[in-house]
């Protein structure tokens, strides 16, 4: 039987492209989202791309019981080999407008849901004597604060620690837990709209182009699979180099001594 991947946030953006990549490898898929319409469209695209099966499951993962409900339904169709936690929200939240409801909504979906989904998968995999592989979708915001993103940045920083904590306790069972942290990726999302002004400001990086969902999907598939069998607890930054350092600063030589002659280097 084909390997079985569960992908959250599969209706749109990064999750949708991750689903299509696994489909191309002939996986059986359980595709999870809160939006039934976009999920049906992804399921159709995955069947066309070669998925053995693409089961669409509408679940609110921000609800306390959502992750357990998802794993119960997915495991009934077949044992799960791969879980990709991509569902996430990144609402613009000016710091002085922050309230408990906004905070809870972001943490519940972005951090609690991936952690509880990993617990739900691990319990079943351990009972069945099977290994498994989890990839959480983090963000460059986990390391770099930005205006209006205090709940979001905090949720992703916590998710990276949850990734390490899960890996530490689950390695003995052959269950790997890793994360991919994308830089800015163009997704045209209705759940997470961003202005062009913001996109331009945030998307500078050494490789000089914006990220596409497939840049992230290829990394997720690699990290989830056997080629990465000795990697766990890791966060792979897939961001065109934007986390490598600060772009657009003047040369510091200019302030204290002459810059080397470029032609002589
Ligand atoms: N696009 C980027 O630039 C970028 C950068 C870094 C990290 N990320 C992360 O990548 C992940 C995917 O984001 P995206 O940009 O593809 O966004 P997206 O809006 O295209 O996809 C997110 C999906 O999650 C679903 N969703 C929202 N609330 C849900 C809920 N309660 N239960 C189940 N599903 C729900 C949405 O319906 C949507 O289909 C997120 O975790 C995000 O934080 C995105």
Quick: pLDDT tens for 172-191. 999 999 999 999 999 988 88
Mean pLDDT is lowest, of 11-15, 22-26, 120-124, 188-192, for: 188-192
13 Cα–ligand 1 center, Å: 7
Phi-psi region of 94 (alpha: psi -120 to 50; beta: other; left: phi over 0): beta
- CATH number of the domain enclosing 129: 3.40.50.720
Atom of ligand 1 nearest to the CA of 61: 32
Record the pTM.
0.95
- pLDDT tens-digit map of 52-82: 999 999 999 999 999 999 999 999 999 999 9
Q: How far is the CA of 86 from the centre of ligand 1 (A)?
A: 6
Q: Looking at the 3D structure of the chain, how many domains does it have? A: 1
Q: How many CB atoms lie within 10 A of CB 83?
A: 31
Neighbouring-strand partners of residue 83? 6, 134
Q: For residue range 75-128, what is the model confidence (pLDDT) as tens digits?
A: 999 999 999 999 999 999 999 999 999 999 999 999 999 999 999 999 999 999
Strands (E) in 124-223, as ranges, are 132-137, 175-182
The catalytic residue positions are 152
160, 138 Cβ separation under 8 angstroms: yes
Using CB distances shorter than 6 Å, the residues near ligand 1 are 9, 11-15, 33-35, 38, 60-62, 86-90, 109, 137, 139, 182, 184-185, 187, 189, 191-192
What does the pLDDT read at residue 246?
A: 85
- Residue 259's domain comprises 4-264
Q: For ligand 1, pick from 88, 191, 203, 215 the residue to mutate: most ligand atoms within 8 Å of CB.
A: 88
């Amino acid at each position: 039987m084909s390997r079985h991947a569960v992908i959250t946030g599969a209706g749109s953006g990064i999750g949708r492209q991750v689903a299509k990549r696994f489909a191309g490898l002939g996986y059986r898929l359980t595709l999870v989202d809160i939006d039934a319409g976009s999920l049906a469209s992804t399921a159709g695209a995955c069947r066309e791309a070669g998925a053995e099966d693409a089961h669409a499951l509408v679940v609110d993962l921000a609800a306390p019981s959502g992750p357990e409900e998802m794993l119960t339904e997915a495991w009934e169709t077949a044992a799960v080999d791969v879980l990709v936690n991509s569902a996430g929200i990144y609402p613009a939240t000016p710091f002085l407008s922050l309230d408990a409801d906004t905070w809870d909504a972001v943490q519940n979906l972005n951090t609690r849901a991936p952690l509880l989904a990993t617990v739900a998968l691990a319990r079943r995999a351990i009972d069945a004597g099977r290994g498994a592989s989890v990839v959480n979708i983090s963000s460059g915001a986990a390391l770099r604060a930005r205006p209006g993103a205090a709940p979001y940045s905090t949720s992703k920083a916590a998710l990276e620690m949850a990734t390490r904590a899960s890996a530490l306790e689950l390695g003995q069972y052959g269950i790997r837990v890793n994360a991919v942290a994308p830089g800015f990726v163009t997704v045209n999302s209705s759940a997470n709209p961003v202005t062009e002004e913001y996109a331009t400001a945030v998307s500078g990086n050494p490789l000089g182009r914006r990220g596409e969902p497939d840049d992230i999907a290829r990394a997720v598939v690699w990290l989830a699979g056997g080629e990465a069998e000795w990697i766990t607890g890791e966060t792979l930054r897939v961001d065109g180099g934007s986390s490598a350092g600060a772009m657009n600063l003047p040369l510091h030589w200019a302030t204290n001594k002459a810059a080397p002659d470029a032609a002589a280097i």
